[in-house]
Amino acid sequence: MYKPLPESLTVKQSGINGLGLFADQKVMQGTNFGVSHYKLNGDIIRTPLGGFINHSNTPNVVKVELKDNNYKKWNLVTLKDIEKGEEVTIRYTFYNI
């Protein structure tokens, strides 16, 4: 069965902007949430995981680039432990803010 988000994350109202990703449970440092973006034929495409994450200058996740023969993709990996109820944030690098 397809699951657009990891079990440990949910989407809800954000104090940063619109909707955001939030931890449903404590998530440990180094957790790989999966693919947030991929680049195909020069276009950057967001997955549901990448579509709801908000920017922060002090993020708790980072994009890790993975290369395939035909495309690039980026996974979100936690930089620190994230507490239950805490918003998951990233420093935007693909978009202007």
Q: How many domains does the chain have?
A: 1
At 33-79, the pLDDT tens digits run 999 998 888 888 999 999 999 999 999 999 999 877 778 899 999 99
Whether 35 is in a domain gets the answer yes
Whether 25 is in a domain gets the answer yes
CATH number at residue 46: 2.170.270.10
The CA–CA distances, whole Å, from 42 to 37, 52, 67, 84 equal 12, 22, 14, 36
Q: Average pLDDT of 3-14?
A: 92
- Provide the domain limits for residue 68: 9-90
Task: Please report the pLDDT score of residue 59 as a whole number.
Answer: 97
pTM for the model? 0.87
Whether 95 is in a domain gets the answer no
